[in-house]
Each structure stands twice: as structure tokens, then as C-alpha cells.
Structure 1
């Protein structure tokens, strides 16, 4: 259910952006700290791989994510007693991954629309799928540190 909620939130926000914000439009809030825009990213995160050949893009940005998402899904379904936090983390990663994959297949690019600038801190332009994947990875990292027992 959480996977579907992540996909839905991602796809709805992207559709709203595509229909209401012109490409490359710049809408600033709170003294330019929060920016809404509409950018089509044909590469991966932060434009990585944007200049790859079409076949290599398809392999790296569509094929590889499908394999990774299937492995994650298989791991969740195979383990009956998986930790709740780990299940939550995997749901965020899978939901966000599928959200961006839908864009790549349906539109040939991923719609990114949000940026944060706070003092020296500045993010790249991202979307809700990116937030889901990042949050899921942070939970996985936190859980891996929490579960490690110090060697005596």
C-alpha cells in the first residue's frame, strides 16, 4: 500500500507541475529559499548520464532500475519477519524508483520541480520520487548502524 501511495504522490505532483508550471519557469517562495520549476531530466540524478547514447540510457536508466526494484521486492516478499522500519525503507525506495521509471518510459525523461536554497546549502532540482528514494536509503543506512553490535 505504501509503495502505491509513493507512486501516486509522485505522479500526481509531476502531473500538476506539467500542467501548471511552464518549462524552466522559476517560482520562488520565502526569499528564494524554496523554488518551484519544471525541468525535464533525461539523465539520472542531477543529470548524470544525460549525454549517453539512447541504448545505453535505456539499459542504465530503465533496465538496471527494473532489476534492482525486482530484487528489492523479492527480498521483502521472501522474508516473513522483516523489520518494520526496513519494510518502510524498501517501500519508499521501490515506490520512488517506480515513480521515476514510469516517467522515463512514458515521457522519455523525469519531471523535476523542486529546489531548496538555504544559506550555503543548495540542492539540485528534484521530485517526490527522489524524496522517497532518499528517505528510504537514509532509513536503511540508519538501520544498518543501529543493528551493528560492537565487537568485544
Structure 2
């Protein structure tokens, strides 16, 4: 066993299994939605007074940002996802495996980003299916990948706040 492989096994890259799990769950749920639900708001399934399942396409990013563009945004967002995933994987390779908090956060973001980029490349859009609302206010529909990205980002922010030293 050479020194480089030992270093990789001791690094945060060991946590990429979590990114793979997020990706597999995300894609699996999306295919279940596509195969078993009708498209659009008229076909939503009411689960709770504030939550529906539905099947919609998002051609943009968060909150349908740039969804009305001609299609270039598909490749733009895919490039951003690959760049961020590569950067986070590099950072994970520099962290020890026992640095769980940041490795979990990075893995969740990577898994979510790759889940959504898979949709963009294969389908040309991201599949969203979670619809939360309060009264007449609807949160934009989202998916497991979006949730993993948000939780991972929140973990990074919380880590930055909790590790801040007051001088």
C-alpha cells in the first residue's frame, strides 16, 4: 500500500459515499415521480394542508432563476455544478476523515449538485416534486437534491459561525 492511497483513505474523500447515496436517492425519487405522476399542478397529490407532491420541470436554478432563457443556462448551471463539486472534493481530500461536520456538508452539496446536473444533461431540466405552502404563499417546488444542497450550505455557515473566535 503506497503513501498516497493511505492518505486518501484517511482524508474526507472517504465521505463521498454520502454524496453517492444522496445522488442515488434523488434520481430514484425523480424517476418514481416521472413514472407515476401526471405532469403539472393539476395532477398534484395533496399530502397535508401545507404540502403537496407534484411533478414539474425547472429549466432554471433556484426559484426558477433564468428559466425563461433560450437553453444556454442548462450548460451554465451544469458547469457551475461540476466546478463546485470538484472544488469541494479537493477540499475533502485536504480534510481528515474524522472532520465529520464539514465532510458531511460537502458530500451533501456534491450529491445534490450531481443529482440536479444529471437532470440537466439527461432531460434538459430539473425535476421538482416537493410543494410547500402557507395560505396563498407557495414556496417554489424543489427536490431532494435541492434540500441536500441547502442543508450542506447551512452546515458550512453554522460551522463558520461556531468556529469564529472573538478577539
Between the aligned partners of 1:87 and 1:139, the Cα distance in structure 2 is 10
Structure 1 partner of 2:145:
129
Structure 2 stretches of 5 or more lacking a match?
1-16
* Runs of 5+ consecutive residues of structure 1 not aligned to the other structure: none
Aligned partner of 2:107 in structure 1 is 91
2:59–2:74 CA contact under 8 A, matched in 1:
no
Aligned: 1:71 with 2:84: no
TM-score, length basis structure 2: 0.83
- TM-score of the pair, normalised by structure 1: 0.91
Counterpart of 1:45 (choices 37, 43, 62) is: 62
CA distance in 2, matches of 1:139, 1:75: 15
Contact 1:46 1:124 in 2 (8 A): yes
Report if aligned partners of 1:76, 1:82 keep a CA contact under 8 Å in 2: no
Alignment partners' CA distance in 1, 2:136 and 2:101: 32
Larger radius of gyration: 2
RMSD of Structure 2 on Structure 1 (CA): 1.7
Counting only pairs closer than 5 Å after superposition, residues 1-152 of structure 1 correspond to structure 2 as: 1-24=17-40, 25-31=43-49, 33-55=50-72, 57-80=73-96, 83-118=99-134, 122-151=138-167
